């Protein structure tokens, strides 16, 4: 067995298809199929089973995943060690993040990191769900709660605050909100209940609010609804500078604190390039949250979204 066979095995496991693996590896899908068949013959084990959804790992395939991932990490660490003579980061790093941080925090932070490391290619994947690092959907991911399972390393990035908010135009046209009970007379904007992918995002549930009247699985879309005067909803304090139409509602009575966590695969702990990027990312995110929550950022364009 050689590394190239394991590389192809991992690509199929992640893509769950020969064509997807071939695309990522830039080789013909038929070649991928032949290489997998050769690896299975070498190991005298069936690694994948064909299903209507694609190629799924068998029990033997699952057992091969950890050694294959360890080999991948060892190779990356060996390659990384040859470039420790330079401080600049190079190569490609893919970061997964919820859309709130991806829209309002990370563009500024990653722009700065990229400017300081011109040989670095940064890919930001913004999705309202949990990322699967074992399938290498990303090199690292930002999460809104600390994972409790999996071969992962977890680093707290920062706390952030949220408050109820609404547009000035909405508040001017509707009954005043002076206490929690007054919210019953107002439209609520929030997450689609059955699409909340993390318990930390169930903001309205903490206040005993009913299901939202207008909802989306996207923080950015919820913010746009509020800016358009759709109702009242929870807003990250770091989003407020990007939405000048919004003001806080009952700020003393209704406030939440949440945290961002940086999650990485445990096998990547020895890769200096990723460690350095993680340090820069953590420092940048903390500073950006502090700046935006304090209102120290330059006023953004109202056309940001």
> Which residues have C-beta within 8 Å of that of residue 46, sequence separation ≥ 6?
40, 58, 60, 61
Q: Are 9 and 47 in contact (CB under 8 A)?
A: yes
Domain range enclosing 222: 92-305
Establish if 86 belongs to a structural domain.
no
Q: Are 53 and 66 in contact (CB under 8 A)?
A: no
Does residue 133 share a domain with residue 64? no
Q: How many folded domains does the chain comprise?
A: 2
> What CATH number did the domain enclosing 26 receive?
1.10.10.10
In the block, tokens 């909803």 appear at 233
Per-residue pLDDT of the chain (305 residues; tens, 9 = 90+): 677 888 898 889 888 899 988 888 889 999 999 999 989 999 999 999 988 888 999 999 888 988 887 777 777 666 655 555 456 788 889 999 999 999 999 999 999 999 999 999 999 998 766 666 656 678 899 999 998 877 788 999 999 999 999 999 999 999 999 998 999 899 999 999 888 888 888 888 777 677 899 999 999 999 999 999 999 999 999 999 999 999 999 999 889 999 999 999 887 887 888 999 999 999 999 999 999 999 865 555 544 44
Pairing mode, strands 152-167 and 232-236 = antiparallel
Establish if 288 belongs to a structural domain.
yes
Looking at 50, 81, 112, the residue that finishes a domain is 81
Does residue 67 share a domain with residue 7? yes
Q: What are phi and psi of 215, to 5 degrees?
A: -145, 160
Does residue 144 share a domain with residue 188? yes
Q: Which two tokens stand for residue 197?
A: 């992918």
Q: What is the pLDDT of residues 133-150, one digit of tens each?
A: 656 678 899 999 998 877
Q: What is the number of residues in the chain?
A: 305
Q: Please, where are the H alpha helices in the chain?
A: 3-15, 18-25, 29-43, 59-81, 99-104, 106-116, 168-173, 203-206, 219-227, 272-294
φ/ψ region of 91 (left if φ > 0, alpha if ψ in -120 to 50, else beta) reads left
Does residue 67 share a domain with residue 108? no
Establish if 36 belongs to a structural domain.
yes
Does residue 139 share a domain with residue 257? yes
User: What is the Cα–Cα distance from 16 to 58, expressed in whole angstroms?
Assistant: 12
């Amino acid at each position: 067995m050689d590394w190239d066979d394991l590389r192809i095995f991992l690509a199929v496991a992640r893509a769950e298809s020969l064509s997807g693996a071939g695309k990522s590896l830039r080789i013909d899908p038929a070649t991928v199929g032949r290489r997998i068949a050769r690896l299975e013959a070498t190991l005298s084990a069936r690694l994948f089973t064909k299903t209507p959804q694609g190629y799924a790992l068998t029990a033997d395939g699952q057992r091969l995943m950890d050694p294959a991932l360890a080999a991948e990490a060892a190779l990356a660490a060996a390659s990384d060690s040859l470039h420790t003579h330079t401080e600049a980061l190079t190569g490609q790093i893919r970061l997964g993040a919820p859309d709130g941080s991806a829209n309002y925090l990370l563009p500024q932070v990653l722009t700065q990191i990229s400017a300081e490391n011109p040989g670095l290619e940064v890919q930001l994947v913004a999705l309202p769900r949990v990322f699967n690092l074992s399938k290498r959907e990303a090199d690292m991911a930002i999460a809104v709660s600390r994972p409790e399972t999996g071969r992962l390393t977890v680093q707290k990035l920062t706390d952030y605050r949220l408050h109820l908010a609404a547009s000035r135009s909405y508040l001017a046209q509707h009954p005043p909100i002076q206490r929690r009970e007054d919210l019953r007379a107002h439209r609520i904007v929030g997450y689609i209940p059955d699409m909340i992918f993390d318990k930390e995002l169930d903001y309205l549930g903490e206040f005993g609010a009913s299901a939202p009247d207008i909802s989306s699985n996207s923080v950015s879309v919820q913010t746009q609804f509020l800016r358009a005067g759709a109702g009242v909803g929870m807003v990250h304090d770091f989003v407020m500078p990007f939405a000048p139409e919004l003001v806080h509602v009952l700020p003393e009575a209704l406030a939440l604190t949440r945290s961002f966590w940086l999650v990485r695969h445990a096998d990547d702990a020895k890769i200096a390039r990723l460690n350095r990027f993680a340090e820069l990312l953590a420092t940048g995110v903390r500073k950006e949250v502090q700046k935006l929550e304090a209102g120290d950022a330059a006023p953004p364009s109202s056309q940001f979204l």
